[in-house]
Structure 1
Amino acid sequence: MPADEAALSYVSQAIDEGAIVEQPDTAAGKMRIRILLTAIALVAERGYETCSMRTIASAVGLRAPTLYNYYPSKEAILVEAIDYGIDNFFSYVLKDVDQKPRSERLFEIARRHIDYKLRHQVIARANDRLIDPQFAKLFLSEKDRKHFGKRLDNYRYKIHDLVKDLVGDRSPVDPMFVTLSIMNQWDRAAYWYNPKGKRSHAETAEQLLILTARLLSVSTLRSDRSVQRA
């Protein structure tokens, strides 16, 4: 296992990039969020079993006994960290989206989902590792697995319902297969996108939206983000 200092550049980047939702005003509230973001980064980088309370405390500049004033155990940090990561993502992607016309919602969700993955690559990848089913099976209780699984399923089915509006029930490909394919396309952007590469963030997002439209067999997006059947 690397020394604590060896991982801090990763952890610092995750904290900076992950803090995209308005934070609590109190010092205690901000420290709790810092602990959660640090735990997300450390567990994703080193593994849950090798990430101790002492390691988390050191990374946020606390003594281990002080950390227990915020959380009673490593398990409690993990559960709240996963919930926070999901909240962070959903707040970014779903805020007020149902106020938009239904015909525009899928591509508005796609735009925000992709934007989150491109802008917050480190925290996005770390979150992905914590919600992986194999990780959950090893380290989460059945109750917590069901809780997180339900939250992710609700998001998936929200997108699925919007996909069905476009592809219909008679599509040669099951709408759920289409849903999983486009969501995988959005998610993987956090792994391969290079901010210093040929394409800018905005250009990359637009390219991915065009690919999504093609998978859905709709025409290129118009400027108002609504779509037409191909």
Structure 2
Amino acid sequence: MSEVPAWQVYGEADLPLPLAAALAAFVEQGYHGTSVREIAGRAGLSVPGLYHHYPSKQAMLVGLMSASMDELLARSRQAESGAGSSPLARFDAVVRSLLLFHMYRRDQAFLGSTEIRSLEPANRAHYVGRRDEQQRMLDGIVAAGIESGDFDLRHVEDASRAVTSMCVGVAGWYRPDGPLNPAELVEIYLGIARRIVGAAG
């Protein structure tokens, strides 16, 4: 039996205690509805003690969203690099990685989708640049698939964005106690993604 690639293996998110507390509060109440004092309390720290680690609530949001993008991009790169040269195999691997991330890291992914508006302009621009890097990875794979004949479609970027949007949307509704497990959901949504790009066969 072959070993499961590292990019498919998920444990608990490795977040410092203050960020874990901030994540829980932001997901429950929203960024603007959460006070620094509440985050400190959840983390078992005083407010000055929290500020020793993170100088502002904005810094905590940036820390969470940066950690999320770091992990997503790292897993996506590992997925693509391990898939070989076939555009279809690379597509399947990256889409599978996106789907798994948005299930197992649904709180972080949900935060990234809903609180981008709360980032200050420079922080937002940086985050969008990282997000666009992920999108360009998939765009390139789809373009390669058209060239190789693996995919049959005309609108590369539109199809690629549709696939990404579908994967990102999983974070909004997936629940671990749902009727289907992650592996079953991945197969269903991977099939949909293949149809979006006109995968041969």
TM-score (norm 2): 0.80
Shift, 1:184, TM fit: 1.3
- More displaced stretch, 58-67 vs 197-206: 197-206
Indicate whether 1:153 and 2:132 are aligned: yes
Change (3 A) 1:56 1:191: same
Q: What is the match of residue 63 of structure 1?
A: 46
Higher relative contact order (CA 8 A, sep 6+): 2
- 2:109 corresponding residue in structure 1: 124
In 2, Cα distance between the equivalents of 1:44 and 1:195? 17
CA–CA distance in 2 between the matches of 1:91 and 1:143?
Answer: 23
Q: Post-superposition shift, 1:57? A: 0.5
Distance change in 2, residues 1:18/1:109 (3 Å): same
Residue of structure 2 equivalent to 1:88 = 71
Find the structure with the greater CA-based Rg. Answer: 1
Within 2, Cα distance between the matches of 1:198 and 1:130?
A: 29
Aligned residues: 188
Shift of the 36–18 alpha-carbon distance from structure 1 to 2, 3 Å rule, reads: farther
Deviation of the 1:50 alpha carbon: 2.7
The answer to whether structure 1 residue 45 and structure 2 residue 28 are counterparts is yes
Q: Which residue of 2 aligns with 1:189?
A: 170
Q: CA deviation at 1:206?
A: 0.6
5+ residue gaps, structure 2, are 1-9
CA contact (8 A) 1:41 1:123 kept: no
- Give the Å deviation of 1:173: 4.1
Q: Measure the CA separation in 2 of the matches of 1:78 and 1:123.
A: 10
Unaligned runs of 5+ in 1: 1-16, 24-29, 219-228
Q: Which residue of 2 aligns with 1:110?
A: 95
Q: Deviations over 1:165-219 (max 9, x none)?
A: 223599654111101111111122222334334323211111111111111111x
- Secondary structure of the 1:102 match is coil
CA distance 1:49–1:194, shift in 2 (3 Å): closer
Is contact 2:103-2:174 (8 Å) kept? yes
Residues 1:150 and 1:195: Cα distance change in structure 2 (over 3 Å)? same
1:217 aligned to 2:198?
A: yes
Q: Give 1:222's aligned residue.
A: none
Per-residue deviation, 1:156: 0.4
| AA matched with 1:117 | H
User: Against the structure 1 CA distance between its residues 40 and 18, is the aligned structure 2 distance closer, same or farther, given a 3 Å change threshold?
Assistant: farther
User: Which of these residues, 188, 200, 209, is aligned with residue 181 of structure 2?
Assistant: 200
Report the identity percentage. Answer: 24
Aligned pair in 2 of structure 1 residues 80, 191: CA closer, same or farther (>3 Å)? Answer: closer
TM-score by length of 1: 0.71
RMSD value over aligned CA atoms?
2.6
